[in-house]
Amino acid sequence: MNALILAAGRGERLRPLTDLLPKPLIAIGDATLLDRHLRELQRAGVRRCVINVAHLGHLIEARIGSGAQFGMTVAYSREPPGALETGGGIKHALSLLERAPFIVVNGDVLTDFEFSALPGQVEDAHLVLVPNPPDHQGGDFALVGTRVDNASIARFTFAGIAVYHPRFFEKSPPVQRFPLTPLLRAAAAEDRVTGQVHRGLWMDIGTPERLTDAKRFFTSK
């Protein structure tokens, strides 16, 4: 299975740190977020990974290169200034991925989720969900058995880790800026999205406070 790491975001809330460093290259403990994802994807058997880049993307390409150091091949989906949001970014990268289900992971999450636990086949999409964190008590989705549901009581938050079938994007807009969530909600309404819950380590490194928490976590280990 191929994988796509979303690494094109500006990281506005982490400025001024992200004025000089793309968020996925922030070090947590002894490794950057991006290094951790590549290492764990390789452990799960991924041999080809695409990374989408925009803001300071040249720094990501200089660090990761061909991906040989991680035992895989890495290609880059280069986006225009301002990037294409999650939906547009994935659609833009499809030409670099095989016509088969592929893993997508947000480059700014810290997790101990094992990618080998993901299914190899999906209808439209398969999402990894986590219990709602304190800063997102409203959640994103409900889970009924293994089916993701748009119920009003959303007990889980989308972890930014998923498997998508390329056909999931056939009804999406052409390559341009567009969000992913409306596509997921439409597919869930048609009962075409499955999911699983991860109850281990998961942090969205999106604010200075969460970055401090993540670094404190590894310092205390």
Does position 84 have pLDDT exceeding 80, yes or no? yes
Question: Span 75-95, mean pLDDT?
Answer: 93
Predicted confidence band of residue 81 (pLDDT cuts 50, 70, 90): confident
Are 51 and 60 within 8 A, CB to CB? Answer: yes
Question: Span 141-161, mean pLDDT?
Answer: 91
For residue 197, the cross-strand partners are 129
Residue 8: which CATH number?
Answer: 3.90.550.10
Average pLDDT along the chain: 92
Predicted confidence band of residue 221 (pLDDT cuts 50, 70, 90): low
The CA distance from 52 to 81, in Å, is 12
Over the stretch 10-65, which tens digit does the pLDDT of each residue have?
Answer: 877 878 888 899 999 998 888 999 999 999 999 999 999 999 999 999 999 999 99
Number of domains present in the structure of the chain:
1
User: Residues 6 or more apart from 30 whose CB is under 8 A from it?
Assistant: 218
Q: Nearest 5 degrees, angle CA 44-CA 84-CA 173?
A: 95
Question: Span 67-74, mean pLDDT?
Answer: 96
Residue 220 confidence (pLDDT): 60
For residue 204, the cross-strand partners are 109
Predicted confidence band of residue 215 (pLDDT cuts 50, 70, 90): confident
Q: Which domain holds residue 202?
A: 2-219
Does position 131 have pLDDT exceeding 90, yes or no? yes
User: Residues 6 or more apart from 180 whose CB is under 8 A from it?
Assistant: 85, 86, 87, 90
